[in-house]
Copies of this chain bind each other. A is one copy, B any other.
Amino acid sequence: MPTFEEKLSDYKHQIVEHIGKAIGKETPVSLYEPIKYTMQGGGKRLRPVLLLLAVEALNGDVQAAMPAAVAVELLHNFTLVHDDIMDNDATRRGRATVHEKWDTSVALLAGDGLVALAYQNLLNTRSPHTLRISKLFTSALIDLCEGQALDREFETRSDVSMDEYLDMIRKKTARLLSLCAQMGAILADGTEDQIQALKVYGESLGMAFQIQDDLLDITADPKKLGKDFGSDIRQKKKTFLLVHALHHANARQKQQLLNYLNHEPVQDAEVLHIRDLFNEIGTLQEAVSAVKQYLTLAEDSLNPIEKVHAKTDCLKDLLQLVQGRQA
């Protein structure tokens, strides 16, 4: 009986191997080289792993679900490549981003190619449910675009409410994770109740994951983070932290936050000052607590399906893993 870590590592290796096969072509070089570079950039492969764990939890055929797992990882990487262009981020996972290593046009086209390859793998999933999961996949892609649009619109606003923020990350981050869990359940011939439960599990996990990401931007060890420290603060992103702080600051703190929002560029010292402000306002503690709440929600969503012989141990282990992540 393999441990959870061994299982994860095994799935991750299988996914990486299948991704390699999914990008078999070499030419045109200007299209496939940046695509390979992106897909070989490492990462946790959280999304395809989640899909496979959902299949397994409902006793489905994990190997048959592999093309769908590859598809969600390709789609996720498409969003990273295009988001990095829009955010003008120079590093990702400790390496130069595609538009930085090549140029914007190459990155733009590589992203488009990743979407195409994602659909190619998805539609080749051998299952009576292929059309259904493809429609879900597409609705998630629309949500991803809407979430990214909202994220960018929020950059120039200082009055973003917590509800607006939560709606944005639900689309931009949580939707893809709920899609993975949902697709896994559907491919495993789950009942509608099981599919719905796993959808809620994935979404709650995704909400926790994004708020944690917001936190790690200023609390993680930059070496482990693989991207610029305080990058969200520099870009004035409306993260959980900033939105919470703006709504809970006293008059003096609020003035300091507005000053920061209305001036640019942001210096290193200012990043640290904003972090101190977040701490003072109680925002960091609140974010930690929100992460825990969403993880509890995810765990609770599994209760009804446990009674009908679903094997939810690994899905619970995954929550533990996410809770403890350092980058």
**Which A residues have a C-beta under 8 Å from some C-beta of B?**
28-31, 82, 85-86, 104-105, 108-109, 111-113, 115-117, 119-120, 123-124, 130-131, 134-135, 138-139, 141-142, 145-146, 148-150, 152-153
Contacts and interface: CB of A to CB of B under 8 A. Distances in A.
Given A85-B108, A113-B142, 17 more contacts: A28-B149, A28-B150, A29-B153, A31-B145, A31-B149, A82-B112, A85-B105, A109-B148, A109-B149, A109-B152, A116-B141, A117-B142, A119-B119, A119-B134, A120-B135, A123-B134, A134-B134
B131 A119 contact: no
B120 A138 contact: yes
**Copies assembled:** 2
A123 B119 contact: no
Nearest to A111: B112
A327 B186 CA distance: 49
Contact of A116 (B145, B152, B153): B145
6 contacts: A86-B109, A105-B152, A112-B115, A116-B145, A119-B138, A123-B135
Contacts of A108: 82, 85-86, 108
Given A112-B145, A145-B113, A104 B104 contact: yes
A116 B142 contact: yes
Nearest to A131: B131
A115 B141 CA distance: 9
Contacts of A131: 123, 130-131, 134
